[in-house]
Structure 1
Amino acid sequence: MFDTVCTLPLSSDLFTQAIHPEEPVVSVGLASGHVQTFRLPSLETEEDDDAASNSSARNGKGHIDTMWRTRRHKGSCRTLGFGTDGQVLYSAGTDGLVKAASSETGQVQNKIAIPPMKNGSIDAPTMIHALSPQSLLLGTDSSALHIYDLRIPYSKVSARPEQSHHPHDDYISSLTPLPASDTSTSGFSKQWVTTGGTTLAVTDLRRGVLVRSENQEEELVSSIYMGGLPSSGTSRGEKVIVGGASGILTLWEKGQWDDQEDRIYVDRNADGGDAVEAMAVTPDYMGKVVAAGLGNGKVKFVRIGPNKVFAEVVHDEIDGVVGLGFDVEGRMISGGGQTVKVWHEGENDGDGGSGDEDMMDDSDDDKDSDSEAEPEQREEPRERKKRKKGKSKDQSGGQHVMAFHDLD
C-alpha cells in the first residue's frame, strides 16, 4: 500500500491543509494562526535551466523546503485553499478575516472581512474554496455560505459578498464542487454539494440552493465527488461520497439527492465508529478508491463498486486525521495533531526510509505578516473547532521516518 517517507513536525496543532494543484507544494494552517508552505522534492530529475532558475528551486533535492512561514491570523487558521491555478493561497481564521496571499512568497495581496453574526460577534470560517478565477466560496459556523467575486478588491470596510445562502441549519462541514456541464464554456464548476449538520445540499452559482436532503440522523462531516463509475439504468456513474461522524460512508447518485444510495461501514468499534474527518480520491492507477482519514488516526482505503475496505495505514496513534490528499507526484499527504506525513506507494518491506533525520528548514520567520516572513511571536492558546475531533489509541503503530527514501 503506502509507506511513510517523511514526517514533518509542526509547531502547533493542525487545523487544515491544502495541496497545490500543479506543483509538489503543501500548505498548513495551525491553531496558533500560523500558515506554513512546504515544497516537496520532485520525483523526476530536472536538468533544464528553466527548472534550475525557479525562484523556489528544489535546491535541497531529497529534503522538504519551507518556502515561507508567517503568523497569518490572530487566533486559529481554520481553513486554507489554493486558487484554481495554484498561484494564490486563501486562508481564513477566527479573527474574522480571509487573506489572499502569493503561494510563492506568502505576501498578502487581498483581504476580505467575513460578515459578522447578527449580534456583531465574529462568524468563524469553516471552509473555503476557489470555484473559479472569479468566484470564492466561504462557509461559516453560522451555516452561512458566502460567494465573493474575486475581480473586486475588498477591504475591511467595504467587504460584502455578492451572494449569501444558508443551505443548512448547522455549520458547513464540507464543500465539493460538481463537474462543469458539457455545455459549459468556461470549464469551471457552477454547482457544488455541501454538508452541514445532518443534511446535504446542492447550490447553484446563479440560482442559489437547489435542493436539501432530509435529516440523515447522523452528522455529515466530509465529502468528495467520484466519476467514471459503471452506469446502469438511471445511474450515470457519478456519485458524491459523504463521510459521517460514526465511521460510515454514504453514496449519493448525482442528480438524485433525495437520499443516500449505499452505505459503507469504514470503522466500527464499541462506540459505533470514529468520524470520517477527511477524504480524497486516490490516483487513477489504484482504480476507483477513496482514502478516508478517521478520527482515530487511521487512513482506510475503500474500493468503490465492491464497497469494501481493503487496506489501512496509521497516521497517528492518538490524533485524528484532519487533512488528506494527493500531490501532483501521486504521494499521499496526511495531516493531524502536530504532524504532516508524506507517503508513497510502498513495497511492504517494512522500511519506509533511510532513517536519516533530514528535516525541513523550520525557520523562525513567523510574525503576523501581510508581507513576507518575519520573526516569530508567542503562539496563541489552542482553539478547537466547533466539533471536537475523536481520539483513540491504536497499538499497531506506524512508521515515523524523517527523510525521503532513495532521494538523499
Structure 2
Amino acid sequence: MFESICSLPLSGELFTQVVHPSEPLIAVGLSSGHVSTLKLPPVDDEETQEGSRGRRGSNGTDVVDTAWRTRRHQGSCRTLAYSVDGRQLYSAGTDGIVKAADSETGRVTGKLAIPIPQSSTEDVDAPTVIHALNPQTLLLATDSGALHLYDLRDPAPTLPIVDNKTAFTTGKPASTHYPHNDYISSLSPLPASETSTSGFSKQWISTGGTTLALTDVRRGVLVKSEDQEEILLSSVYMSNLPARKSRGSTHEKALVGGGDGVITLWEKGQWDDQDERIIVSREKETLDCLREIPAGIGGFGKKVAVGLGDGKIRFVTLGQKKVIGEVQHDEIEGVVGLDFDVGGRMISGGGSIVKVWQEPMGTVGEDEEEEDSDVEVGEKRPAAGSDDDSDAGEEAYDSSDDEDKSSKRKKRKRGKGPAKGNSFSFSGLD
C-alpha cells in the first residue's frame, strides 16, 4: 500500500511527532528536549527546485527542509500538538513545563507549569498527551492520570514577550479530572454532534492503564469502562462505518490498540466494554499507534494503520477485519509516531528516524468487501548530535537529559510507572 520516499535521520531519539493540519509540515520532539519543524517534500511530487536548503532522504528522492530547530525543554519533549488553525505549536516536557510557540517561527509566546497533585511525592507530574480539542480548549494529560483542561481564551498559555523574555505562570487549569488510575496513554476526540453550533468537538475518549473513559468538556468524566485486564495504549475514533442492523449500530466506533497485539472495537454509546476484536500481532507486540488511513488509499473501504513495538506498520481493513499489508519502519526500534499529512502521505517515526511514505504511483489497491532567539530558521539540517540550540526569546540551557532515553520511552508506553523529572524553581510561582 505504501512505499518509502524519504528517510530522515534525527539528532536524537524521537519521543513525539505531530503533523500540521493544513500544511505539509511535521513537528518532532526528541529525548534531548529539542523540537524541530520539518518541511516535507511537495505534495504534488514535483521535483524540488535547485538551491533549496535542505537534506535529501537516504534514498535520494526528495528534500526535507528544517523550518526551525531549538532546545525547547530541559528534559525530554514528551508530547506536541498544533492548535486547530495550526498557528500555535504546543509542547510539553519532563521539565514540567508547557510552552506555546508560533508554529511558523518557533518563537515562544508563553509557558506554564504543569500542576503537581497534592498527594504526589514527585517534583514533576510529567505530561503524556497534549491536544487542542477546539479553539477554546487545550487538553493536557499526565503520568498521575490527571487530565487538565485549559481555557485558551485565558492569556496564560499565550503570554506576550516582555523585554525579550516570557514570564512563567501557574497557568491554573479551568478544570481537572481523573478518568483513569494510571497514566493516560491516548486521547481521541469525538466529532461534533449534529446540534452543535460551533462545529467543534466537546467530548473525547481516553485510555489509561486497562480502562477506557468518555469525558465531556463541561460535565467531566461521563463513563468509565470495565477493567479490560490488558493495558490500552492507543486509540482512534472512526465514523461512517458499515452498520450491523441486528445490533443497531451507530456507524461510529472507537478502535483501541492494546499491549497484547489486539485492536478492540467499542460501539459509540456502549463504553462499558468492547464488542469486537481484531488480531494484529499474533506475537503480541504492543500496538503503540493507530491512525485512520485517508479515504481512497489502497482501494475502497475503511482502513487503519497500526504502529507496532517491533518497528512494523501493519494495515488493517475494517470490512474484513484482518491485516492486509505491512511495511517496516525500523528493524530494532518501535513506532512511536504515525500520522497522515495534508497530502495523504504516511509519516512514521521511531528510534532516531522519520520516514515519509506514499502510495506507489500508477497502482490501484484491491477492492475489499464491505457491509526562541536562537531558533534556526530556514537552516540546513544540523548534523547528528548537535545540541547547541537555545530557546527563542529565552536563556540557553546548558544541561543534558538525565534519563535513560530508551528505557524511559518503553516505561511510558508500557505503563511501568511515571517517569521522574528534574526539580526546578519557577520564579513568580506560588
* TM-score normalised by length of structure 1: 0.85
Give per-residue Cα distances to partners, 1:95-153, cap 9 Å, x unaligned.
00000101111001111210013236210000000011110000000000000001112
- 8 A Cα contact 2:134 2:200, kept in partner: yes
Tell me the CA shift for residue 67 of structure 1.
Answer: 0.3
Give the counterpart of 1:130 among 126, 129, 132.
132
> In the alignment, is the contact (CA less than 8 A) between 1:24 and 1:40 conserved in 2?
yes
The residue that corresponds to 1:139 in the other structure is: 141
Structure 2 counterpart of 1:211: 223
Moved more, 144-153 or 116-125: 116-125
Q: Tell whether 2:183 aligns with 1:171.
A: yes
Q: How does 1:160-309 map to 2 (within 5 A)?
A: 160-231=172-243, 232=245, 233-269=247-283, 273-286=284-297, 287-309=301-323
Change (3 A) 1:130 1:68: same
- Residues 140-192 of structure 1, C-alpha deviations (whole Å, 9 max, x = no match): 00000000001112263432000000000000000000000001111110000
Q: 1:37 to 1:173 in 2, by over 3 A?
A: same
Which sections of structure 1, spanning at least 5 residues, go unmatched? 47-51, 350-359, 391-408
Gaps of 5+ in 2: 57-61, 157-166, 364-378, 415-430
Among 349, 368, 371, the alignment partner of 2:390 is 368
> Superposed, which structure 2 residues align to 1:8-407 within 5 Å?
8-44=8-44, 62-118=62-118, 119=121, 121-154=123-156, 156-231=168-243, 232=245, 233-269=247-283, 273-286=284-297, 287-346=301-360, 361-363=380-382, 366-371=388-393, 379-381=400-402, 382-383=404-405, 384-385=408-409, 387=411
State the distance in 1 between where 2:176 and 2:296 align.
Answer: 40
Query: 1:43, CA displacement in angstroms?
Result: 2.7
Task: State how far apart, in whole Å, the 1-side matches of 2:397 and 2:170 are.
Answer: 31
3-state DSSP of counterpart to 2:79: strand
What is the number of equivalent residue pairs in this alignment? Answer: 368
Match of 1:395 in 2: none
The alignment partner of 1:217 has SS state of coil
How far off is 1:348 after superposition?
10
Equivalent AA in structure 2 for residue 385 of structure 1 = R
Q: Letter of the aligned partner of 2:315 in structure 1?
A: F
- The one-letter code sitting in structure 2 at the alignment partner of 1:34 is H
- Specify whether residues 3 and 156 from structure 1 end up closer, same or farther in structure 2 by C-alpha distance, changes over 3 A only: same
Q: CA deviation at 1:346?
A: 2.0
1:34, 1:366 within 8 Å by CA — same for their partners in 2? no
Partner secondary structure for residue 267 of structure 1: coil
Cα distance in 1 between the residues matched to 2:18 and 2:393? 20
CA contact (8 A) 1:79 1:91 kept: yes
Amino acid at match of 1:274: E
Mapped partners of 2:179, 2:168: distance in 1: 26
Secondary structure of the equivalent of 1:230?
A: coil
**1:213–1:259 contact (8 Å) kept in structure 2:** yes
- Tell me the equivalent position of 2:163: none
Whether the 8 Å contact between 2:286 and 2:309 is mirrored in structure 1 is: yes
Of all paired residues, the percent bearing the same amino acid is 57
d(CA) in 2 for partners of 1:179 and 1:367? 39
Whether the aligned pair in 2 keeps the contact of 1:365 and 1:375 (CA below 8 Å) is no
| CA distance 1:365–1:142, shift in 2 (3 Å) | closer
Give the root-mean-square deviation of aligned CA atoms. Answer: 2.5
- 1:361: Cα distance to partner? 2.5
CA 1:366–1:26 in structure 2 vs 1: closer, same or farther (change >3 Å)?
farther
